[in-house]
Amino acid sequence: MSGRVLVGVKRVIDYAVKIRVKPDNSSVVTDGVKHSMNPFCEIAVEEAVKMKEKKFIKEVVVVSCGPQQAQETIRTALAMGADRGIHVDVTGKDYDNLGPLQVSKIMAALAKKEEAQLVILGKQAIDDDCNQTGQMTAALLDWPQGTFASEVTLEGDKMKVVREIDGGLETIKINTPAVITADLRLNTPRYATLPNIMKAKKKKIDKVKPADLGVDITSRLEVLRVDEPPHREAGVKLETVADLVDKLKEAGTI
């Protein structure tokens, strides 16, 4: 066992920013907008660092796919305690069209190359809400998956994962190597302390291209249009239930 964990982190528009759609409805405005690490990716990094602190694993390698700015996100993870980073350089149109399938292929290739024991990802990104990369990565590697994890325990060469599902909690036991996707309650990410932020400067970030990993990132999807959600119309206050029934009949909904 290499004792190495691969963590994928995504640079997304900060959750507090008010999103605006571009006038040509092609996508959302990203220029000059505050970006940060996807919150579920933060939780993934935290889990990996915790495992290292408990000495269950030896090295945390952080991966991000995107243009130069992706390195900022990697640095944040390094400041949280990851050991080194891999920046997969994807720019321009390729980056716009980069989706879960492409990222999973990259993650799978890196997991093999780095001989990772574990791949931890956030369950989904808050910009596209795909919730696919973890599952696809596991399938490509033919590894077990523990998705929506709210608790992960290493037990020898197996892993116990408590999953958050619609009906409650499900506990499964899977073999390693495996893919885990982090859900909200898995942990509370630590603050990157200032000493660690300064130490992160010295940690290594390798830069590779998808082609170097033998990955074809052509997209099979074409985004046709992006629209804002419809504006909430004003409601009407009604006096009695009878009025409500009448209104609903009028609107043709019953």
Partner 1 sequence: MALREGALRLNLLANNRNFYKFTSFVGVRSLSNNVSSKPVTSSAIETASDHLIYTQEHFALKESLRKIIDQEINPHVDQWEAEGTFPAHKVFKILGSAGFLGVNKPVEYGGLGLDFSYSVAVSEELGNIRCGGIPMAIGVQTDMATPALARFGSDELKKEFLLPSIMGDKVACLGVSEVGAGSDVSSIMTKAVREGDEYVINGGKMWTTNGTQADWICLLANTSDGPPHRNKSLICLPMNLPGVQIARKIEKLGMWSSDTAEVFFDDVRVPCKNIIGQEGMGFTYQMLQFQEERLWAVANVLTTMDIIIQETIQYTRQRKIFKQPVLYHQSVHFRLAELQTEIELLRALLHSATALYIKGNDVTKLASMAKLKGGRLAREVADSCLQYWGGMGFTSDVLVSRFYRDSRLISIGGGADEVMLGIICKYMDTLPKK
Site for partner 1 in 152-181 (CB under 8 A): none
Cα gap 117→176, rounded to integer Å: 7
Asked if 18 is part of the footprint of partner 1 (rule: CB under 8 A), the reply reads: yes
Q: How far apart are the first and last CA of the chain?
A: 62
Cβ neighbors of 229 (< 8 A, separation 6 or more) are: none
Please count the residues of this chain forming the interface with partner 1, following the rule CB under 8 A: 38
Asked if 147 is part of the footprint of partner 1 (rule: CB under 8 A), the reply reads: no
Query: Does the CA dihedral 102-103-104-109 come out positive or negative?
Result: positive
Please select the residue that binds partner 1; options are 54, 55, 204, 232, rule is CB under 8 A. 232
Instruction: Fill in the per-residue mask, 187 to 216: x = in contact with partner 1 (CB under 8 A), - = not in contact.
Output: -x--xxxxxxxx-xx---------------
Residue 4, CA distances (Å) to 45, 111, 114, 138, 199 in order: 13, 9, 8, 16, 21
Site for partner 1 in 63-102 (CB under 8 A): 69, 72, 75-76, 79
Contact region with partner 1 (CB under 8 A), list: 84-92, 100-108, 134-142, 224-232: 224-232
DSSP β-ladder status, 168-175 and 158-165: antiparallel
Q: By C-beta, is 2 or 25 nearer to partner 1?
A: 25
Residue 117, CA distances (Å) to 56, 165, 247 in order: 11, 25, 60
Q: Which residues bind partner 1 (CB under 8 A)?
A: 14-19, 32-36, 39-40, 69, 72, 75-76, 79, 124, 126-127, 129, 184-185, 188, 191-198, 200-201, 229, 231-232
